[in-house]
Structure 1
Amino acid sequence: MKAPVALAAPLGLALASLMGCAAAAPVDETPIYKGAETLALDDELVNVRVTLKGGRGAADIDAYSRCAVAHHAQAGGYGFARHLRTNVAQQGGLWRGDAVYTVSSERPRGLKTIDAAATLRDCGEQGIPTI
């Protein structure tokens, strides 16, 4: 009779750990967009500040700020933007991004260029607000 008792403890621990895994709720990665603000620093320099809740952090901040600058560029008669830098911070369950872009009427040189019209289409398809 002692053998079943010896096996019961490890089996019970194994079942408890499996139940703990099954009880864990999946993480919701759907961001809630809380607002975007664009500020022209110069004729061709734009500061974008965005706030969101949830999501995947920096990846969603980048996407949200890209959509906001694409809107700003197109509304200002520019067709393109180029990413310069983004600062990301999290506080109290909110992600905040502070990004800077150049805007231009011709495609700028560099790897992080944004075609405003194409980006706005993508933002609409992904449900990301543009302002």
Structure 2
Amino acid sequence: MARTRPSVIALSLALSGLAGCVTAAPQPGPALGAPEAAVYRGVETRLLEDDLVNFVVRMEGARDMRDPIAYARCAAAQYALIRGYGFARHVRTTVTEQGRLWVADAVYVVSPALPQGARTIDAEVTVADCTELGIPTV
């Protein structure tokens, strides 16, 4: 019977424990705050269905794709509040960079009750966070 060295077993156990900590798709949010050089170019809102909303946000001076994603998230949260809803669920976001201009095209479901899914936001809390971080909403 072959013997396995203890260090290999310990390493295997450590790595298998970490496997549960890794997420397939990180959910960038407004944790970074507004970039110092940010110029927010506005939000286009399109109602796709009664509760399905598309947000296209444009900004200059983003550090990376997390900044326009945070901007779209803030817009979605404010829109939910405007409609009298308390929650939103992220469906998808695509981000493109065109020179200095960053564009995030995001879709959210807005709802009065907490929707099912892992990518939900509490609109009131999110708008307060966005305000504190200096990220504009709708």
Match of 1:79 among 66, 71, 86: 86
Identity across matched positions, percent: 53
**Counterpart-to-counterpart distance in 1, 2:44 and 2:37:** 21
**Structure exhibiting the larger radius of gyration computed from Cα positions:** 1
C-alpha contact (below 8 Å) 1:29/1:56 kept by paired residues: no
Which residue matches 1:88?
Answer: 95
Summarize deviations over 1:23-75 as a string: whole Å, max 9, x none: xxxxx764221111221111110000000111222101111001101111110
Runs (4 or more) in structure 1 with deviation over 4 Å come to none
**Counterpart-to-counterpart distance in 1, 2:134 and 2:61:** 15
Match of 1:69 among 53, 56, 76: 76
Which residue matches 1:104?
Answer: 111
**Counterpart-to-counterpart distance in 2, 1:61 and 1:93:** 12
C-alpha contact (below 8 Å) 1:38/1:69 kept by paired residues: no
C-alpha contact (below 8 Å) 1:87/1:97 kept by paired residues: yes
- The alignment yields a C-alpha RMSD, in angstroms, of 1.3
* Matched length: 104
C-alpha contact (below 8 Å) 2:69/2:95 kept by paired residues: no
Q: Does 1:56 find its partner at 2:63?
A: yes
**Counterpart-to-counterpart distance in 1, 2:107 and 2:74:** 13
Which residue matches 2:123?
Answer: 116
**Counterpart-to-counterpart distance in 2, 1:128 and 1:52:** 11
Which residues in structure 2 correspond to 1:17-36 (within 5 Å)?
Answer: 30-36=37-43
Which residue matches 1:127?
Answer: 134
Letter in 2 for 1:104: S
**Counterpart-to-counterpart distance in 1, 2:63 and 2:117:** 26
C-alpha contact (below 8 Å) 1:70/1:120 kept by paired residues: yes
Letter in 2 for 1:47: N
Moved more, 36-45 or 80-89: 36-45
Runs of 5+ in structure 1 lacking a partner?
A: 1-27
Moved more, 34-43 or 98-107: 34-43
TM-score (norm 2): 0.71
TM-score (norm 1): 0.75
Runs of 5+ in structure 2 lacking a partner?
A: 1-34
C-alpha contact (below 8 Å) 1:83/1:101 kept by paired residues: yes
Letter in 2 for 1:90: E
